[in-house]
Amino acid sequence: MSEIKALLFDVDGTLADTERDGHRIAFNRAFAQVGLDWEWTDELYGRLLEISGGKERMTHYLRHYIHPDSEPPQELLALIPDLHAIKNRFYWEMLDKGEIGLRPGVARLLTEAREQGLRLAIATTTTGDNVRSLLRNTLGADAEHWFELIASADEVANKKPSPAVYEYCLMRLGLAPTECIAFEDSENGMAATRGAGIPVIVTVNGYTQDGDYRDAELMLENLGEPEAPARVLGGRAAGRVSSSVCVDVGLLRKLRAG
């Protein structure tokens, strides 16, 4: 087995529970601001998350929920980029107010990985501005510099489940897939890592917990803390670890050693 050299992190749903109480609310506020009567409930948003990317999600909603039997009006399709920009401003306001925090174990693992010399990168379908705002408001003003690379929708057009963003990371980092471990929260994310050949740990959330993650190294409720280990819910290596774990660099090396 190759030595671990880098950890690659998805953002939304993985670093933080941004979807239900962040992006969803921001989308609804944007719709209201421009006078649209659209409202994305918890249940509906869970279905819409099958579509990666905010602009793509709105386009899908418009075509399949608002105008399922006809081509949507061009003025609505043309409004989507502006809607996305408005939504992002609402989202950044929520971050600035401290309304969205990191998931258990994230800050601890990032800090330990840095201390042990592992390289860090972001691989996400959200925008770079969203990533930097989240990092700044949860980890500190210099947190974006913890990451050697932030690969986002600004650099890679093809969204997950395409492996494009992970292939871009590997190319920029100059690493083989087996020298990395990725962290995701969804089936789309796991499919992207599989396409790039990168082992993945999946930390599910309320929207993604019913997915099929048998091909993940581990499926967990979160990354865990020493005083509150995370339940192991499945994955190929589930039989080689305890029923609850605190994911640290030592555990990652154990997984890679087989």
Active-site residue list: 10, 12
pLDDT tens readout for residues 14-28: 999 999 889 999 999
Provide mean pLDDT across the span 21-36: 96
Domains contained in the chain, CATH given: 6-17+101-257 (3.40.50.1000), 19-96 (1.10.150.240)
Integer CA distances (angstroms), 44 to 20, 41, 48, 106, 256, in order: 11, 5, 6, 28, 38
DSSP 53: S
Q: Say if CB 193 and CB 200 are below 8 A apart.
A: yes
Residue 28 and residue 1: Cα distance in Å, rounded? 47
pLDDT value at residue 149: 98
Mean pLDDT of 163-188: 98
The pLDDT value given to residue 258: 72
pLDDT tens-digit map of 221-234 = 999 999 999 999 99
**Mean pLDDT value across the chain:** 96
pLDDT of residue 153: 87
Look at residue 47 in the predicted model and tell me its pLDDT.
95
pLDDT at residue number 1: 58
Q: Packing angle between helix 54-61 and helix 74-96, nearest 10 degrees?
A: 140
pTM for this entry: 0.90
